[in-house]
A = this chain, B = another copy of it.
Amino acid sequence: MEFINGVQQKEDITVSQLLTGDYIGRTVRMRGAVHNVRDMGEVVFVILRKSEGLVQCVYEDHPDQEADRGAGTAAVPLQISDLKNLKEESAVEVTGRVAAEARAPYGYELRLCGIEVLSEPDEILPLAINKFKMHTSLEAKLAMRPISLRNVRERAKFKIQEGIVRGFRDFLMSQGFTEVHTPKIVSRGAEGGSNVFKLDYFNKKAEMGQSPQFYKQTMVGVYDRVFEVAPVFRAEKHNTTRHLNEYVSLDFEMGYIDGFEEIMAMETGFLQYTMELLAKDYRKELEMLEVKLPDVSRIPAVRFDRAKELVAEKYNRKIRNPFDLEPEEELLIGRYFEEEYGSDFVFVTHYPSKKRPFYAMDDPEDARFTLSFDLLFRGLEVTTGGQRIHNYQEILKKMEKRGMDPADIESYLMIFKYGMPPHGGLGIGLERLTMRLLGEQNVRETSLFPRDVTRLEP
Contacts and interface: CB of A to CB of B under 8 A. Distances in A.
Quick one: which of A121, A176, A183 has the most chain B CB within 10 A? A183
A290 interface: no
Interface stretch (A69-77, A104-112, A379-387, A412-420): A412-420
A457 B89 contact: no
A302 interface: yes
A91 to B, nearest CB: 3
B198 A199 contact: yes
Contacts of A31: 256, 421
Contact of A4 (B125, B158, B299, B416): B299
Given A6-B269, A91-B421, A202 B453 contact: yes
A28 to B, nearest CB: 15
A29 to B, nearest CB: 11
Interface in A184-213: 184-187, 197-202, 204, 206, 208
Contacts of A411: 145-146, 457-458
B347 A4 contact: yes
A37 to B, nearest CB: 13
Interface stretch (A39-47, A56-64, A258-266, A324-332): A258-266
Contacts of A420: 91, 119
Contact of A162 (B175, B178, B222): B178
A300 interface: yes
Contacts of A230: 230-231
Interface in A144-166: 144-147, 149-150, 155, 158-159, 161-162, 165-166
A390 B119 contact: yes
A265 B7 contact: yes
Instruction: Tell me the number of copies of this protein.
Output: 2
A118 B298 contact: no
B119 A341 contact: no
Interface in A110-128: 118-123, 125
A356 interface: no
Given A197-B201, A198-B199, A147 B89 contact: no
B3 A185 contact: no
Interface in A201-250: 201-202, 204, 206, 208, 215, 218-219, 221-225, 230-231, 233, 235, 237, 245-246, 248
A422 interface: yes
A392 to B, nearest CB: 4
A185 B201 contact: no
A33 interface: yes
Given A8-B265, A150-B221, A449 B3 contact: no
Interface in A399-458: 411-412, 414-422, 430, 448-451, 453-454, 456-458
Interface of A: 1-8, 12, 14, 31-33, 50-52, 87-91, 93, 118-123, 125, 144-147, 149-150, 155, 158-159, 161-162, 165-166, 175-176, 178-187, 197-202, 204, 206, 208, 215, 218-219, 221-225, 230-231, 233, 235, 237, 245-246, 248, 255-256, 261, 264-266, 268-269, 272, 297-302, 341, 347, 390-393, 411-412, 414-422, 430, 448-451, 453-454, 456-458
Given A391-B119, A412-B458, A457-B411, A451 B421 contact: no
The DSSP consensus for interface residues of chain A is: mixed
Contacts of A269: 6-7
B184 A158 contact: no
Contact of A7 (B1, B204, B266): B266
A2 B180 CA distance: 33
A155 B51 contact: no
Contact of A449 (B119, B183, B268, B416): B183
Given A176-B51, A197-B201, A456-B206, A146 B414 contact: yes
